[in-house]
């Protein structure tokens, strides 16, 4: 099983992003997804910058994939998507059917992203025909459903699973970070830059519930499949995706690597990953439960 690093879902200043990927080059990762996969207004880095980073990571031995935006609204979003698809060097993760159409038309193999809502073999088979060489399961996928799905495929594309990080739960035309500060989205003043791990949302009794990240709404809980890594090896999953957080991400990567190689007890790996974690762990989805639940809660 391979380890992948998902795209940075937050909006970090340019230097921070460059520093981060200089470190990533040294981490025990097989695949790195790059690019802005949340909001079209974020442009601390532009496509040529991402391609530079991609080049360096490739030289460090990583497979690099460029992530496309999950929500396409305007003609300029499409223009950016066409440039991404036509980059000529790196493969693309299609996070919307618009990307699937363009990639198929260009006869380029692609990764079918989690927002394409692949829940059954017929849809996966169709995407495979169009050029999907890998797919990422919807984050709400349960182990039982994934096992069913894969058991009905003759030769499925590579299967990737979101295994660590705050869950990307929803997308909107509205920017909730701008809304918090009573700013219109068109004049958001890039407030997302102030929240390196998103903006926490709690219930009226103070219980952490969600995380606002611009037009994306994430869980407050941090999805954490560390307890399931060993059984996962038998379930047909080829790749685990870890989603970047602002601090001590290397610890998370190494905790998963240790568990993959059974080189550390679960308790040690968990302690390592949960250090400086921006929220409590959860793993409900994988167990067919509400996503926010955690199997090891006392």
Partner 1 sequence: MPERTLQLICPAGSLPALKAAVDEGADAVYIGFRDATNARAFAGLNFDDGTAQQGVRYAHERGARVLLALNTYPRAGNWQRWTAAVDRAARLEVDAVILADAGLMAYARRAHPQLALHLSVQGSATSYEAINLYREQFGIRRAVLPRVLSLAQVENVVKHTEVEIEVFGFGGLCVMVEGRCLLSSYTAGDGPNTCGVCSPAKAVRWSETPAGLESRLNGVLLDRYGAQEKAGYPTLCKGRFEVAGATYYALEEPTSLNTLDLLPQMQAIGIAAIKIEGRQRSPAYVAQVTQVWRAAIDACRAAPHAYAVKEQWQSQLNRVAEGQTHTLGAYHRPWK
**Rounded to whole angstroms, how far apart are CA atoms 125 and 69?**
23
Residue of 36, 96, 274, 283 that binds partner 1 (CB under 8 A) = 96
Q: CB-wise, 28 or 184, nearer to partner 1?
A: 184
Q: Is 204 in the site for partner 1 (CB under 8 A)?
A: yes
Residue of 6, 7, 125, 244 that binds partner 1 (CB under 8 A) = 125
On whether the CB atoms of residues 264 and 279 are closer than 8 A, the answer is no
Residue of 42, 101, 133, 248 that binds partner 1 (CB under 8 A) = 101
Q: Is 199 in the site for partner 1 (CB under 8 A)?
A: yes
With b meaning 16 or more CB within 10 Å and e meaning fewer, what string describes 45-60?
beeebbbebbebbeeb
Q: Is 184 in the site for partner 1 (CB under 8 A)?
A: yes
User: How far, in Å, are 31, 39, 83, 213, 290 from residue 217 at the CA level?
Assistant: 25, 12, 27, 6, 16
Say how many C-beta atoms besides its own lie within 10 A of residue 26's C-beta: 9
* Sequence-distant (≥ 6) Cβ neighbours of residue 146 within 8 angstroms: 137, 159, 161, 235, 236, 237
DSSP secondary structure letters along 7-54: PP-S---HHHHHHHHHHHTTSS-SEEEES--S-TT--SS-HHHHHHHH
Quote the least distance from Cβ 160 to partner 1, whole Å.
17
Residue of 93, 140, 160, 274 that binds partner 1 (CB under 8 A) = 140
Residue of 30, 185, 246, 295 that binds partner 1 (CB under 8 A) = 185
Measured in whole angstroms, how far is the alpha carbon of residue 91 from the centre of its chain? 16
Q: Is 207 in the site for partner 1 (CB under 8 A)?
A: yes
Q: Is 292 in the site for partner 1 (CB under 8 A)?
A: yes
Q: Is 172 in the site for partner 1 (CB under 8 A)?
A: yes
Contact residues for partner 1 (CB under 8 A)? 70-75, 77-78, 81, 96-98, 100-102, 104, 115, 117, 119-127, 138-140, 144-145, 148-149, 151-152, 167, 169-176, 179-180, 184-186, 199-207, 209-210, 212, 217, 219, 284-285, 289-292
């Amino acid at each position: 099983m391979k380890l992948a690093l998902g795209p940075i879902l937050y909006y970090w200043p340019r230097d921070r992003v460059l520093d981060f990927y200089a470190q990533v080059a040294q981490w025990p990762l097989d695949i790195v997804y790059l690019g802005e996969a949340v909001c079209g207004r974020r442009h601390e880095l532009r496509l040529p910058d991402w391609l530079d980073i991609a080049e360096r990571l490739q030289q460090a031995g990583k497979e690099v994939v460029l992530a496309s935006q999950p929500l396409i609204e305007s003609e300029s979003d499409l223009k950016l998507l066409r440039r991404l698809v036509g980059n000529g060097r790196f493969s693309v993760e299609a996070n919307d059917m618009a990307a699937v159409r363009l990639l198929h038309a260009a006869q380029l193999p692609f990764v079918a992203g989690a927002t394409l809502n692949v829940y059954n073999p017929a849809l996966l088979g169709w995407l495979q025909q169009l050029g999907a060489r890998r797919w990422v399961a919807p984050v709400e996928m349960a182990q039982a459903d994934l096992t069913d799905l894969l058991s009905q495929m003759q030769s499925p594309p590579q299967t990737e699973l979101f295994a660590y990080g705050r869950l990307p739960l929803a997308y909107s035309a509205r920017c909730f970070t701008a809304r918090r500060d009573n700013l219109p989205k068109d004049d958001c003043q890039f407030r997302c830059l102030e929240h390196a791990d998103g903006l926490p949302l709690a219930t009226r009794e103070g219980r952490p519930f969600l995380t606002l990240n611009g037009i994306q709404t994430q869980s407050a809980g941090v999805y954490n499949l560390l307890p399931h890594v060993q059984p996962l090896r038998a379930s047909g999953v080829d790749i685990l995706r870890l989603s970047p957080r602002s601090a001590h991400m290397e610890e998370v990567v190494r905790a998963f690597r240790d568990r993959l190689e059974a080189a550390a007890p679960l308790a040690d790996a968990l302690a390592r990953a949960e250090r400086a974690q921006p929220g409590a762990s959860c793993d409900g989805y994988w167990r067919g439960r509400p996503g926010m639940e955690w199997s090891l809660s006392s």
